[in-house]
Amino acid sequence: MSRDRRSLRYGDGVTFQRARSDEQREIRRRAILDTAAAMLDEMPVAEVSLNELSRRVGLAKSNVLRYFESREAVLLELLDDFLGAWLDELTAELDKGIDPAASPEVRAGRLAEILGRSLAERRVLCDLVGAQGGVLEHNISVEMVKRHKRAAMAKVSMMVELVRRHLPESGDGAETFCVMSLISAGALAAYDPPPPSVSAAYADEPDLRALHLDLPDTLRTVITAALLGVMPR
């Protein structure tokens, strides 16, 4: 490893040297994204601040803003990264879990089950999707919106191709199904696990637990209903 590359390590208490080459700038940019991703393992999207991100990555906030125009821009790029990684894994899961010789009803059921479980296991992805419209798409420029939307459209197209590969009967409804599945995952993830006060209320009055949404089970139900809704009659 070169001396220049070693000087660009990041973390608490580590200060970057000035980035003078495209390679160094890309390493620094990747460091910002990786640090933000690590923060999301510890806290929800709403608690990720630019000040704390800057501190952890070892850069002044003004320097972070040279690479990303805002906190929201960092998180939107992570959302694109996470969606891409998830779709790669989902491809393998669907190829393994769905028998192409099975009936449309069986294949649809397996697709909904695998998709719901796969999304429920990726809480950070769901949190980012859930924050997209109300938080992340604010405080960004028009050009950033365009880049983000183009990337999102590409990821949805990949998901649509996957659904049609295993369930060609979904036809033109596959795109609507994919978009609604992602939006549902983002919205439902906000309710599970419940915050401490809600958990305490459930413990005091067990009847209230009827309002609790278990993410894997609820996602499977919602995704199954959405899939049935777009299938041709």
Q: What is the pLDDT of residue 14?
A: 44
Q: What is the pLDDT of residues 11-59, one digit of tens each?
A: 444 444 555 677 888 999 999 999 999 999 999 999 999 999 999 999 9
- Whole-angstrom distance, CA of residue 13 vs CA of residue 187: 37
Average pLDDT rounded to a whole number, residues 145-157:
96
Whether residue 135 contacts residue 79, with contact meaning beta carbons closer than 8 Å, is answered with: no
Give domain limits for the chain: 1-68, 71-230
Of 1.10.10.60, 3.30.1440.10, 1.10.357.10, 1.10.10.1110, the CATH number of 71-230 is 1.10.357.10
CA distances (Å), 114 to each of 67, 160, 183, 221, in order?
A: 37, 15, 17, 12
Q: What is the pLDDT of residue 18?
A: 56
For tokens 């070693």, the residue is 6
Least confident range from 20-24, 68-72, 219-223: namely: 20-24
With bands split at pLDDT 50, 70 and 90, how would you rate the model's confidence at 233?
A: low
Whether residue 40 contacts residue 78, with contact meaning beta carbons closer than 8 Å, is answered with: yes
Side chain identity, residue 63: N
